[in-house]
A and B are shown apart, each in its own frame.
Chain A
């Protein structure tokens, strides 16, 4: 099956700094690349996603960049705030309605933003 790895597993930054989390995957058929944020005790929530025909997408302080050749994509958070503290998951998925567009979650990166 798909092998998904996230780095780093933990990340601590000061408020206002940038944070970058990298996700590598093994399935070359993956064509959908979302990032989820999960606060302690809460459900995962989609924060940004990108499709395989796009190299970069930005939404205010959050951006995702994709390198399909190297099979990795990254989450970039600028001007971090304490409320960005959470666990972030990448979850690359492959197409095909029969597969239910199933996602393969990484093990998560715990981000701590200190004031």
Chain B
């Protein structure tokens, strides 16, 4: 099993450009999450999904959109990138419910917005 994978690993954008980050998991997990990590800030939840076709806002959702068209994939979109979105983005998945609440993280995407 590959676990949780993220594409791309690195990206540099100019202000106003758009992009999509892809997260994939092969563990048949129900729940998926997108976090951002900034120096000294820990991880902050952007959006999450409790199942295929459903998404919900987390702590810092502004400027981001998400979609979960397939159970194994969770996409994070930036429509008009801003320098404040420079960060490391982590995706995570969890079995959910009685099968366990442990979250398994992907390797991260380092995004720089100039």
Residues of chain A having any CB pair with chain B under 8 Å: 1, 32, 34, 42-46, 49, 89, 91, 93, 97-98, 100-108
Q: How far is the CB of A37 from chain B (nearest CB, A)?
A: 11
Which residues of chain A come closer than 8 Å to B107, judged between CB atoms?
42-43
**Is A101 within 8 A of B94, CB to CB?**
yes
Partner of B50 from the list A43, A45, A98, A104 (CB cut-off 8 Å) is A98
Quick one: CB contact mask for B49-66 with A, threshold 8 Å, 1 for yes? 110000010110000000
Nearest opposing residue in chain B for A49, CB measure: B102
Bound CA–CA A97/B94 (angstroms)? 12
| CB within 8 Å for A46 and B43 given contacts A97-B96, A98-B50 | no
A-B contact count (CB 8 A): 58
- Of all A-B residue pairs in the complex, the 3 with the closest CB atoms, nearest first, are A105-B42, A43-B105, A105-B43
Partner of B42 from the list A43, A46, A102, A108 (CB cut-off 8 Å) is A108
Q: How far is the CB of B46 from chain A (nearest CB, A)?
A: 11
